[in-house]
Structure 1
Amino acid sequence: MDITAEELLTRDLDATHRALIAIARTLGDYVRHLLAPVAAGGPGLDGIFYAVTGTANTDLLGRARFEEFSRPYDRQVLEAVGDGLVVLHTCGAESHPEWFADERIDALHWDQFQPGNPQLDAPFGTTVVGGVNKDLFAVDADRTQVAAQLEATLEAAPDRPFLLAPSCTVPTPADGDSLRLLREAR
């Protein structure tokens, strides 16, 4: 049976919330396992990268629906991190990183090159992540643009700690020389 996102959000809200609870519990259990010390049988990771892939986009859910269908379940997963580190990514255009600034996260990542998104100097009170347009890492892209964007980002760096990174997932395959430019940037 095919069902649209709109139907999920309007037809049987109890079933939708039950499914979201189950997903959040499963992800929370997985996060706790990932952060469990090696001595306790876990991998012993220091933290997680948590991506909110579009639910903060106003065109997809809107603020009220985000608060109902995303935030409580995202928080459940983030709470499972405990004292671990969290880099949170909010994906796409109009991704509203400001909606996450009050969460218990260590770094906030969004694509500052997408329409409706703020630049890296936005005052979110946490470490920001970004700097180079993800599209510039394509195999056929111009490496001089990567170098220029890296230089411009570092020169205009926010007056607080930040992590220099592509603005979102880099294309696959990516240009190795462009990735090396990023790795070697100072």
Structure 2
Amino acid sequence: MNKQERVLAALNGNEIDYIPYSLWYHFGTQFLPAAKAADIQIAFYERYDFDFLKVMNDYSYPLPERLDRVRTIEDWKQLKPVTVNGYCFSEQLKLLKIVAKRLKGEAFFLDTVFSPLGVARRTAKDIIFDLLRSHPEEFKQGLEVITESLCNYVKAVIEVGAAGIFFSVNGATSDLFSKEEFQEFVKPYDLQVLETVKDIGVFNVAHVHGYNLLFDQVTDYPVHAFSWAHLHSWPTLQEAKTLTDKCLVGGIDEHLTNMFHPDALETQIENALRETQGQKFILGPGCAIPTDMPPEQIDLICQTLRKS
């Protein structure tokens, strides 16, 4: 099987030669132009021979002119839609075009896309929780602006050659919201973005970010696979099999340190294969791994899978 065939087989629960895998972390390249950032991420993919590349995306959504931070709801209401020609999107699209040219016909790549609430948090920081609870309707206006921008952007992501998006769902956790608040401030906006790529992406993943997850609230998201920190939050991989028939992405503890023993790492992989029976499963971390993870540890993951 080639890499694309292997991933599609895993997504569909078909016969497979071995479980596909990939890892990812925040490269810290948000200060770099697209070409340099692309070189780093492609080098990461090539060095470890991943089955697909999840492209990190850390360019910042812009604040309006003459506003250096959000302090009030009036500041928040100044948010404007960003076109795909805006720097945060255009630079990432340039990066994706370079990746598409290098990986064409060889492997799929996904673009990391933060959900509307996730973009809101990254833009206005944690003040958003005070704003959304004190001015809910006005806060939603800003979410609508961000959602409109993201819907246009994700279409462009597929057009440049991405197989789909790795959609980081922010807010599906009782640490931040009740189920009612999730249904009001998170899910409707998430669904608008995901519906945009539902029929044009072949490999869309919902990464349910955080702990104490409201996982049962997202199982109807129109994606091909789910990712979450299952070693630190409900549900386990085995439990998730009873909640969704979608492919599961996981198995590797994102809290790995450079002192993590190889035997323990092999055990994690073996446990994940046992829980999922290797069906509709892709090996990956529960979230971004530390950037100082030793190369020999990553090599071990590949070796363990290919001999299983």
Q: Is the 8 A contact 1:34 1:44 kept in 2?
A: yes
CA distance in 1, matches of 2:158, 2:168: 17
Displacement, 1:74? Answer: 0.4
Matched residue SS, 1:9 = helix
**What does the per-residue CA deviation read over 1:14-66, in whole Å, with 9 as the maximum and x for residues that have no partner?**
22111000111111111000111xxxxxx12111100113x011120111110
What residue is the counterpart of 1:169 in the other structure?
A: 288
CA distance in 2, matches of 1:159, 1:145: 19
What does 1:57-136 correspond to in 2, within 5 Å? 57-83=173-199, 84=201, 85-115=203-233, 117-121=234-238, 122=240, 123=242, 124-136=244-256
Matched residue SS, 2:182 = helix
CA distance in 1, matches of 2:172, 2:151: 20
Matched residue SS, 1:95 = coil
**What does the per-residue CA deviation read over 1:118-175, in whole Å, with 9 as the maximum and x for residues that have no partner?**
1112221211111121122x22322221112112222333473111111221112222
**Which stretches of structure 1, 4 residues or longer, exceed 4 Å deviation after superposition?**
none
Amino acid at match of 1:177: E
Question: Please, what TM-score do these two structures have when normalized by structure 1?
Answer: 0.87
CA distance in 2, matches of 1:179, 1:166: 11
Identical-pair percentage: 29
Matched residue SS, 1:170 = coil
CA distance in 1, matches of 2:193, 2:137: 20
Residue 45 of structure 1 is aligned with which of 162, 165, 170? 162
Residue 26 of structure 1 is aligned with which of 138, 149, 168? 149
Question: Please, what TM-score do these two structures have when normalized by structure 2?
Answer: 0.54
Amino acid at match of 2:254: K
Structure 2 residues not aligned, in runs of 5+:
1-69, 73-126
Amino acid at match of 2:148: R
Q: Is the 8 A contact 1:92 1:114 kept in 2?
A: no
Q: Which has the higher contact order (CA 8 A, sep 6+)?
A: 2
Q: Is the 8 A contact 1:50 1:89 kept in 2?
A: yes
**What does the per-residue CA deviation read over 1:59-78, in whole Å, with 9 as the maximum and x for residues that have no partner?**
20111110010001101110
Q: Is the 8 A contact 2:198 2:222 kept in 1?
A: no
Q: Which has the higher helix share?
A: 2
CA distance in 1, matches of 2:213, 2:182: 11
Amino acid at match of 1:132: I
Amino acid at match of 2:163: D
Amino acid at match of 2:161: G
Q: Is the 8 A contact 2:132 2:140 kept in 1?
A: no
Q: Is the 8 A contact 1:24 1:77 kept in 2?
A: yes
CA distance in 1, matches of 2:197, 2:270: 35
CA distance in 2, matches of 1:157, 1:175: 27
Q: Is the 8 A contact 1:56 1:96 kept in 2?
A: yes
CA distance in 2, matches of 1:100, 1:14: 23
